């Protein structure tokens, strides 16, 4: 009995949380506090853990993503994802308007003007109100199936608003974007970790969506706006192999819509008569409908009745778009009537009924005065252009990254040159060119430095790397401070009460020169005997002392071996289990770790070959840091699956996929994303993908179910 109650509760909670997600992420009007939301989510997680048989990839709990490596299956689009013809000025827009007018032979028409979002396009399929597939544009004919990653995007409904009259099956297209705020936060974090920055939110969104790890996607705060609805029923009637046909075969999209609606027949519903309504025969109307179903529909859409309306819209948004939370790079104009769209049809590449107007990239010209050089934690040198201040897209720009020596050479930069600066995605300024006409004979080419600007050590350039490095890692101040900042950072030792300023202060006062020095700091030293700082100093010392409990795998990350990121550190820690074993690891052993190639293996060897690093580790060990996996972590670790390469596929009843992944790793096996001749076996649950099944059979790879797998581990 209790069981049934819990199952009902799961279903009710899911429904409720879907609604709260919609209020929060789509409508921007939350109706409960974050705290209450978290409580409910937590409760649902508990209930779902007790009822694995109720697992559902569309449950709101699944938005957190999974650590599993994904490999993306390629999927053919039902209808090709076309691009739009671009226009750049008023005349082009006027010409488009006239072409439409001529094409419609004097019929009245309306144009829908909407934002052109600068992200990456996505096609979403819904069946019975549930998100079933999300595919990137790819080459327009086939794209990557990124469904698992897309499920983590909060503004994309996993379950549509019940009773809102959605059709049985449909596809909707739109743009996935990284809002400016998420983009800035991400780049700040990357800067701290000395990872390459994303040039603009589009690249960041695209990099994120293609991430192999949906948990990463979940953290990155992506958003989505939808701008094009396609309904399939009539499509199926007209086309058997739609992808190969000309796009001009398109489609009475809304003809049969009402027949396909699942529920919802009450007479007073706002969407009831939609199928018969004018509204459902228009692009504008279809998107209003989609909004009712729960989608986030593009902002600032306008129904234009004249060319002047269109031009006014463009002029207004040319400046107003800067206040939007996401990047836009133009305006899209679409003929509103679907019937008129069909009449106008398509060229080989794009619809004749729509066009994109691109905003001008903002660019400024100013004088390059000097190139200075920054030294990062790993010793990487970044050249920076220092210029006369110039106004660009709303801010004053006077510095811009030049990335590396190759870029400087490509631009053939001379000191005193008049350079063009653009804001890549309008936030990070970059030097895009030189006005050579204005160069006078006396100007000298920029000469990349040969010694470190901070410590004078000759720079080196590693094979295959664009950057120059200062190799004096134990004597160069920004490298020393950078290493300490990395060591205390959240994903490493997480010593929250210290920050870059305190590290700088400790370093200036000669208190810390090395990460191990942190553990001998006293409260009196930290406060510099200032009674006003006594409390915060005690807290800092306590936080440092408490960090000795941080698990071994994070210590491996924290010590800052070049190129060893968080994930690699985890894998290395699990393979070698103790710092001593890692210290004596051979290159061959290191190369056995998933994701470790020549560069990382060499870097680990170099780190341990350095006597100073070994001395630091000895002091950290003395301070009590975790230098091996804990007995808890070691418990249950076996070599039963050693040397085995295992693919997980399908939905499981007894454990989650993450749990199976952890079991594989704990027992010495390797979880891999795709089936190959090297795969030892596939651990298959319900609904294993047909492509995987076929591949496994073709290659003669064994398929085992979860019971058999669990028996193997007994």
Contacts with ligand IVH by CB under 6 A lie at 82-84, 114-117, 121, 137, 175, 227-228, 298, 332, 351, 354, 356
Residue (66 or 155) nearer to ligand IVH, CB: 155
Task: List, as own/partner pairs, every contact residues 406-410 make where C-beta atoms lie below 8 angstroms and the sequence separation is at least 24, other chains included.
Answer: 406/466, 408/371, 408/383, 408/446, 408/448
Query: Which of 333, 229, 236, 237 lies closest to 281, judged by CA?
Result: 229
Within 13 A of 505's CA, how many CA atoms are on the CB side? 10
| Alpha helices by DSSP H, 61-193 | 90-103, 147-150, 180-192
The pair of structure tokens assigned to 342 is 């069909």
Q: How far is the CB of 134 from ligand IVH (least distance, A)?
A: 14
Residue (313 or 652) nearer to ligand IVH, CB: 313
Q: How far is the CB of 286 from ligand IVH (least distance, A)?
A: 12
Q: How far is the CB of 612 from ligand IVH (least distance, A)?
A: 52
Pairing of strands 302-304, 130-136: unpaired
**Helix (H/G/I), strand (E/B), else coil: 594:** coil
Q: How far is CA 206 from the centre of its chain?
A: 7
The DSSP secondary structure of 108-119, one letter per residue, reads: ---EEEEEEE-S
Q: What's 601's DSSP letter?
A: H
Q: How far is the CB of 353 from ligand IVH (least distance, A)?
A: 8
Helix axes 657-666, 706-713, angle to 10 degrees: 30
Residue (312 or 514) nearer to ligand IVH, CB: 312
For residue 645, list its beta bridge partners. 670
Query: Which of 161, 297, 320 lies closest to 226, judged by CA?
Result: 297
Residue (18 or 116) nearer to ligand IVH, CB: 116
Q: How far is the CB of 177 from ligand IVH (least distance, A)?
A: 9
Query: How many helices (DSSP H) and strands (DSSP E) are in the chain?
Result: 26, 20
For residue 399, list its beta bridge partners. 386
Query: Cα torsion for 174, 176, 182, 183, to the nearest 10°?
Result: -120
Find the helix or strand (DSSP H, E) in which 370 lies.
strand 363-375
Phi, psi (5° rounding) for residue 191? -60, -45
Q: How far is the CB of 359 from ligand IVH (least distance, A)?
A: 12
Q: Write out the catalytic residue numbers.
A: 116
Within 13 A of 227's CA, how many CA atoms are on the CB side? 27
Residue (79 or 660) nearer to ligand IVH, CB: 79
Find the helix or strand (DSSP H, E) in which 714 lies.
none
The DSSP secondary structure of 663-705, one letter per residue, reads: HHHHTT-EEESS--TT--EEEE-BT--HHHHHHHHHHT-EEE-
Residue (357 or 519) nearer to ligand IVH, CB: 357
Residue (178 or 452) nearer to ligand IVH, CB: 178
Q: How far is the CB of 116 from ligand IVH (least distance, A)?
A: 4
Q: How far is the CB of 235 from ligand IVH (least distance, A)?
A: 15
Q: Based on C-alpha coordinates, what's the Rg of the chain? A: 29
The pair of structure tokens assigned to 435 is 């006005």
Residue (123 or 479) nearer to ligand IVH, CB: 123
Q: How far is the CB of 224 from ligand IVH (least distance, A)?
A: 11
Rounded Cα gap, residues 450 and 455, in angstroms: 12
Residue (118 or 553) nearer to ligand IVH, CB: 118
């Amino acid at each position: 009995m209790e069981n049934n109650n819990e199952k009902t509760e799961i279903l009710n909670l899911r429904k409720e949380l879907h609604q709260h997600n919609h209020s929060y992420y789509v409508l921007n009007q939350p109706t409960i506090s974050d705290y209450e939301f978290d409580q409910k989510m937590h409760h649902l997680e508990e209930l779902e853990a007790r009822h694995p048989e109720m697992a559902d990839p569309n449950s709101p709990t699944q938005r957190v993503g999974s650590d599993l490596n994904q490999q993306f299956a390629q999927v053919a689009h039902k209808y090709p994802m076309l691009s739009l013809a671009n226009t750049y000025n008023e005349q082009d827009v006027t010409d488009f308007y006239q072409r439409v007018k001529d094409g419609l032979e004097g019929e009245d028409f309306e144009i829908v003007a909407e934002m052109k979002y600068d992200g990456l396009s996505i096609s979403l399929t819904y069946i019975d109100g549930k998100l079933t597939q999300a595919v990137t544009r790819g080459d327009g004919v086939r794209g990557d199936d990124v469904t698992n990653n897309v499920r983590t995007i909060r503004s994309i409904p996993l379950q549509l608003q019940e009773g809102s009259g959605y059709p049985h099956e449909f596809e909707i297209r739109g743009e996935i974007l990284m809002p400016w705020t998420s983009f800035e936060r991400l780049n700040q974090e990357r800067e701290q970790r000395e990872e390459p920055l994303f040039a603009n939110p589009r690249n960041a969104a695209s990099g994120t969506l293609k991430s192999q790890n949906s948990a990463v996607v979940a953290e990155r705060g992506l958003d989505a706006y939808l701008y094009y609805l396609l309904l399939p029923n009539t499509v199926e009637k007209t086309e058997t192999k739609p992808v190969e046909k000309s796009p001009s075969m398109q489609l009475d999209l809304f003809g049969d819509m009402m027949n396909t609606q699942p529920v919802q027949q009450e007479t007073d519903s706002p969407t009831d008569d939609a199928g018969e309504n004018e509204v459902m025969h228009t692009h504008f109307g279809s998107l209003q409908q989609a909004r009712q179903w729960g989608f986030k529909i593009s902002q600032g859409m306008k129904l234009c009745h004249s060319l002047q309306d269109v031009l006014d819209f463009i002029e207004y948004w040319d400046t107003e778009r800067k206040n939007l939370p996401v990047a836009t790079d133009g305006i899209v104009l679409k003929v509103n009537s679907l019937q008129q769209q069909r009449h106008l049809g398509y060229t080989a590449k794009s619809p004749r009924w729509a066009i994109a107007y691109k905003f001008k990239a903002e660019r400024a010209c100013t004088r390059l005065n000097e190139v200075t050089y920054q030294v990062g934690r790993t010793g990487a040198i970044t050249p920076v252009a220092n210029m006369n201040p110039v106004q660009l897209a709303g801010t004053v720009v006077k510095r811009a990254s030049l990335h590396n020596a190759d870029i400087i050479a490509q631009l053939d930069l001379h000191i005193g040159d008049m350079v063009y600066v653009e804001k890549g995605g309008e936030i990070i300024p970059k030097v895009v060119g030189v006005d050579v006409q204005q160069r006078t004979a006396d100007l000298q080419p920029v000469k990349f430095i040969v010694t470190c600007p901070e410590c004078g050590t000759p720079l080196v350039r590693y094979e295959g790397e664009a950057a120059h490095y200062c190799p004096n890692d134990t004597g160069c101040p920004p490298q020393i401070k950078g290493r300490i900042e990395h060591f205390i950072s959240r994903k490493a030792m997480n010593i929250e009460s210290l920050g870059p300023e305190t590290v700088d202060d400790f370093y200036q006062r000669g208190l810390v020169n090395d990460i191990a020095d942190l553990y001998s700091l006293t409260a009196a030293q930290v406060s510099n005997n200032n009674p006003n700082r006594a409390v915060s100093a005690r807290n800092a010392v306590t936080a440092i002392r408490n960090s000795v409990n941080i698990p071994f795998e994070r210590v491996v990350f924290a010590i800052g071996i070049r190129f060893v990121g968080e994930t690699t550190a985890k894998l290395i820690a699990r393979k070698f289990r103790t710092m001593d074993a890692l210290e004596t690891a051979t290159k061959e052993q290191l190369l056995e770790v998933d994701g470790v190639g020549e560069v990382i293996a060499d870097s680990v060897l170099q780190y341990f070959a350095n006597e100073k690093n070994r001395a630091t580790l000895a002091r950290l060990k003395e301070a009590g840091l975790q230098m091996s996996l804990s007995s808890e972590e070691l418990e249950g670790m076996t070599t039963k699956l050693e040397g085995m390469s295992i693919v997980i596929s399908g939905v499981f009843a007894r454990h989650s996929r993450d749990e199976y992944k952890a079991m594989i790793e704990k027992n010495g096996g390797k979880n891999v994303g795709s089936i190959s001749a090297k795969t030892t076996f596939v651990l298959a649950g319900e609904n294993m993908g047909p492509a995987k099944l076929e591949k496994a059979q073709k290659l003669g790879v064994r398929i085992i179910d979860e019971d058999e797998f669990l028996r193997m581990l007994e």
